[in-house]
Structure 1
Amino acid sequence: MRRRTIVPPLVSLLLLAGCTSTTAGDLDLKVGGAFGARPEIVFPGGRPAADLRIDELTTGKGSRLGDDDVAIVQYTAHVWDGRDNRLVDSSFNRGTPAAFPVGGLLPGLDRALRGRTVGSRVIAAIPPEQGFGTNPPRGIGPEDDLFYVVDILGAHHKGASVEGLGGSLEGVRVSGGARPEVSIPDAAPPHGFESRVLARGDGSPAQAGQLLVTQYEGTIWERRRVFDATWPAGRPKAFKIGDGTVIKGWDKALVGVPVGSRVLMIVPPAYGYGAPGHPAYGIKGTDTLVFVVDVLAAY
């Protein structure tokens, strides 16, 4: 759970990246570098063609992406203007991969990602009408053509879950199964932060600075009201941990927990949103929060 409203990276854009020194078909450019590393791009002179162009430079053998899946990727995004072809966004500049919901991206990116497999590198030249159109973000003009290189590192499907056991903590009870149910007692919350691993996974421990892929539910203790949850829609969400991106309680509870774990935490204001609360979620500065989090993956 981020400190404030969840905001995706600059672009809901992505693609897949690939081989070394590979000519990108009729795009007449070259993309070099190892899969998962920052690509080396040699642009030709002039502007790209007016229509959407997609090329798969490397075909992976992993899981296939479908609508409502979340792709974990490394990517770079350029404005292709035939002059400086400037970089406008990159996961490499953030230090962690990015998470992109297939079916919720720019039209050209959805077409580029849908049906691709983990381990693939894809490039796409995207005209304005397949990109941001007339309302682009800062740094991109409404008539700009875009170019992306994207390496698909992972795919997490709708409904993914730890399916862990249930358990309890300070009277809060959590059922087992793929989508846990949370029951909060009719009592005052504890004053301090507490957490418990209800089901311990067998993956690598999550490290500070990694991107965690999660399913979760957050409830306000005092009103027994769910204020945010991924399970109803089924699509996982990803957050960087250990650097202050998420609330302090998530960093404290999740760093060091093995992938595949289900974690229950009780988060007082000092470990949550503090005195300001989070009005968009209906959270007051005095509210204690309860989270159940499934740690699906770490990158």
Structure 2
Amino acid sequence: MRLLLLLVPLALLTACTGAPAADDLDLKVGGRFGHKPSIVFPAGKPSADLQIDELTAGKGARLAKDDVAIVQYTAHVWDGRENRLVDSSFNRGTPAAFPVGQLLPGLDKALQGRAVGSRVIASIPPAEGFGANPPQGISPDDDLFYVIDILGSHARNAHASGSGSLAGVRVSGPERPRLSIPSGPAPDAFAAKVLKRGDGPRTEAGQLLVTQHEGAVWGSRKIFDSTWKSGQPKAFTIGEGSVIKAWDRALVGVPTGSRVLMIVPPSAGYGATGHPQFGITGADTLVFVVDVLAAY
């Protein structure tokens, strides 16, 4: 990883985005790519224009619309007084997934076309920010400042592969899998099978997993969730209870690049309450096929 200078002033490196170049505002960002940055804000508020700079130029794949960018980032409200921190994946210890093309307008402009391995900074005025309905702790009139390290990129058509069967359920297809669920009652017990073992490092509890996946209800065979249909991989923290029990059990310790098939009774899924948003009742057994693309 390339080292930054201890203090780096806002530079003039915005040609990739077409956004206005930054003036010299004496704002300084220090630290190495992939490590929590130090930030020295100048006196006063920022310019009313969107300002974007690239402090470290990566050499990896370039981000495109509908990619999922895996990033470490820090975000401040830039008010010229406290310039308070409002969010930081560095503090949480786990990277975040940014769906390119669905972010704040200013962030989308800052990231599209940037290469993996880049550190990007963005001063985002209200017009390019959250708009009239910002999250708690942020005002519609707040200027924002982001430092973003781009760790990885995953395209909408990324996939593992593998065919096979488990408890009568069959999976076929080299790219988007085709699920065939038998008639008759669902099994009572949870079961999981790695249909194709990847050659990447094994996943660990607490990591952010990037997946393509599809879920179906056993009885109706209805597909209730599919990243292949929505057009973008999704990322989840694994092994810490933030996903259903079945995923924590089946996906921790699996090599990245694997395709995993699961049979999930309610006790290992959404429990007695089900998931009404997906049309899942508390009695439904589910079937998942999950491609484990990467772990961070």
Partners of 1:234 and 1:144 lie apart in 2 by: 32
Q: Give 3-state SS (helix, strand or coil) of 2:107's partner.
A: helix
Query: What letter corresponds to residue 96 of structure 1 in structure 2?
Result: T
Match of 1:63 in 2: 61
Secondary structure at 2:230's aligned position in 1? coil
Counterpart contact for 1:18–1:121, Cα < 8 Å: no
- 2:62 is aligned with 1:76: no
| Candidates 227, 233, 237, aligned match of 1:236 | 233
In the alignment, the residues of structure 1 paired with residue 252 and residue 171 of structure 2 have an alpha-carbon distance, to the nearest angstrom, of 21
What's 2:21 paired with?
A: none
Equivalent position of 2:189 in the other structure:
192
Is the CA contact 1:27–1:53 (under 8 Å) kept in the aligned structure 2? no
Distance 1:18 1:263 in 2: 40
Which whole-Å deviations, capped at 9, do the CAs of 1:40-87 have from their partners, x for residues lacking one?
000011100111000100100000001111100000000000001000
Q: CA RMSD of the aligned region, Å?
A: 1.1
Contact 1:18 1:120 in 2 (8 A): no
* Equivalent position of 1:7 in the other structure: none
The CA deviation at 1:19 is 5.3
Between 1 and 2, higher relative CO (CA 8 Å, sep ≥ 6) is seen in 1
Distance 2:74 2:162 in 1: 40
Give 2:118's aligned residue: 120
For 2:146 and 2:67, locate their aligned partners in 1 and report how far apart those are by CA, in whole Å.
20
TM-score, reference length from structure 1: 0.92
Q: Which residue of 2 aligns with 1:135?
A: 133
Query: What SS is found at the alignment partner of 2:271?
Result: coil
> Which amino acid is the alignment partner of residue 281 of structure 1?
F
1:216 equivalent in structure 2 = 213
- Taking the aligned partners of 1:245 and 1:22, their CA distance within structure 2 comes to 37
Cα shift at 1:97: 0.2
Residue 273 of structure 2 corresponds to which residue in structure 1? 276
Give the drift of 1:158: 1.4
Deviation at 1:165, TM superposition (A): 2.0
* Structure 1 position 131, deviation (Å): 0.2
Q: Which residue of 2 aligns with 1:95?
A: 93
Query: Could you say if the C-alpha distance between residues 199 and 167 of structure 1 is closer, same or farther in structure 2, counting changes exceeding 3 Å?
Result: same
Match of 2:46 in 1: 48
d(CA) in 2 for partners of 1:72, 1:219 = 27
TM-score (normalizing by structure 2): 0.93
Shift of 1:18: 6.0
Counterpart position of 1:265: 262
Distance in 2, matches of 1:65 and 1:275, equals 41
Deviation at 1:27, TM superposition (A): 3.5
Counterparts of 2:267 and 2:119, CA distance in 1: 43
Mapped pair 1:23 → 2:9: yes
What residue identity is the alignment partner of 1:268? P
CA distance in 2: counterparts of 1:201 and 1:37, whole angstroms = 29
How big is the shift at 1:20?
3.5
1:107-136 Cα shifts (integer Å, max 9, x gaps) = 100000000000000000000000012221
Cα distance, 1:233 vs structure 2: 3.1
Q: Secondary structure at the match of 1:93?
A: helix
Among candidates 235, 249, 253, match of residue 250 of structure 2: 253
Structure 1 residues 278 and 128: alpha-carbon distance in aligned structure 2, compared to 1, 3 A threshold: same
What is the total number of aligned residue pairs between the two structures? 282
Quick one: percent identity of the two aligned structures? 70
Q: How far apart are the structure 2 equivalents of 1:152 and 1:89?
A: 16
Which amino acid in structure 2 is aligned with residue 50 of structure 1?
A: A
Structure 1 residues without counterparts, runs of 5 or longer: 1-16
Amino acid at match of 2:154: H
Structure 2 counterpart of 1:91, one-letter code: S
Q: CA deviation at 1:93?
A: 2.8
CA deviation string 1:262-291 (max 9, x = no partner): 000000111001011110111111110000
Asked if 1:183 corresponds to 2:169, the answer is no
Q: Superposed, which structure 2 residues align to 1:98-113 within 5 Å?
A: 98-113=96-111
User: Deviation per CA, 1:113-167, whole angstroms, max 9, x where unpaired?
Assistant: 00000000000000000001222111001110000000000010111011x1210
Give the match's secondary structure for 2:127.
helix
* Match in the other structure for 1:12: none
